Structure 1
Amino acid sequence: MVTDFWSPIKLSIEIAFVSGFIVLVAGILLGRFMANRSFKGKLLLETVLLLPLVLPPTVIGFLLVIIFGKNSVIGQAIEWVFHQPVMFTWWAAVIASTVVAFPLMYQSVKTGFEAVDQDIENAARVDGASEWQVLLFISIPLALKAIISGGILSFTRALGEFGATLMFAGNLPGKTQTTPLAIYMAMDSGHMDMAWLWVICMMGLSFSLLLCVHMIKT
């Protein structure tokens, strides 16, 4: 019983950490690239990057199935390399969580980089710093609050992902059954005590993470 209770929570945290790391790296790189830059098609690209924020999770799940399914080129390539499809695996849950969490990280990081004084960055370039050195030693430290806030919000969003995960990764106990899926199944089967325990646990964790975001911003 105790194992059954902790298994979805442990799985959710593991998936959220991995997807959080991915969106952290991707968010910093793309946020840095898009901040204070104008080019043709920027508005369209930015709309695409933020689209998962407003799309229904089932739509995201459907698109992931189409993109990574057995009938797609990407899905067939993955199956050829790893000798198994990505759907209904632990990594499918990571992909789904990454897609839905990325917009929060991207928007926060881009805003943070836009607030960095460009004169400081330009001064570092004049002194001979490379673009990577400017990013690592100037831009990131000055935008650190936004980066940490975006990381926490992305982790929280990945932790609570439900719809896209259900469609793309399935609901396999011990493998892809995260806490939101476990809550749904517990309610559906009438195990309200277990559902309440998971709900309280998720609320406490989410509240703590959001409190951290507010403390960082103040």
Structure 2
Amino acid sequence: MQEAASKCVVWPDVSKETFGRFAMFLYTGDYNGVEKLPSLTEKSKDGMCSTTRNAKDRGTTTTSQTGRFMTECPDPLCSHDDVAWPDNRTLNILMVHAHMYVLADYHHIESLKAAALRKLHRLLVWYTVTEDSLEQIVCLVQFTYENTLPCKRDSLRSMVSEYCASALIRFRVVPEVESLMRRLPDFAADMFQKLKLH
């Protein structure tokens, strides 16, 4: 490998923060999703909502939809053990776990994928979508669908579409959500497939 000869690894699509979490995972078997959190209005300098690599109130939902998402992690890799976060400023935290999943998926690191899914699911269970926080979920959906392969078996897509089927559907007439569904037809199809299953 070129990296072995040069003793240098260059991953231009991975931020230094994501790489730091990856290194932490390699040494400890876990990674920290919480560091210095920016305010929600501040854009992340690490480009959390941007594409890194292009891949070739639960008010109107039924209790079974919401309940299913809250009790089941939508992937067999995912299990619920303790996942902690400091407060409700979650944009950066949601995106941290999405970035870790994409990195793990690209490099076929199943244990890291499982950790990222577990941590993201635990956050989403407690996350309430409001008109003020909607942008954070739109950002998560956009990043997920722009950085994962269009495959019914992709665990992150499955989790995000399951969550949106239970939490986001009441916002379907909000312009940002309508735009998201037009721009990402795979997401719209996945979400409505999840709704059909309930």
TM-score, normalised on structure 2? 0.29
Larger Rg: 1
Q: Where is the helix percentage greater, Structure 1 or Structure 2?
A: 1
| Structure possessing the higher relative contact order (Cα contacts under 8 Å, 6 or more residues apart) | 1
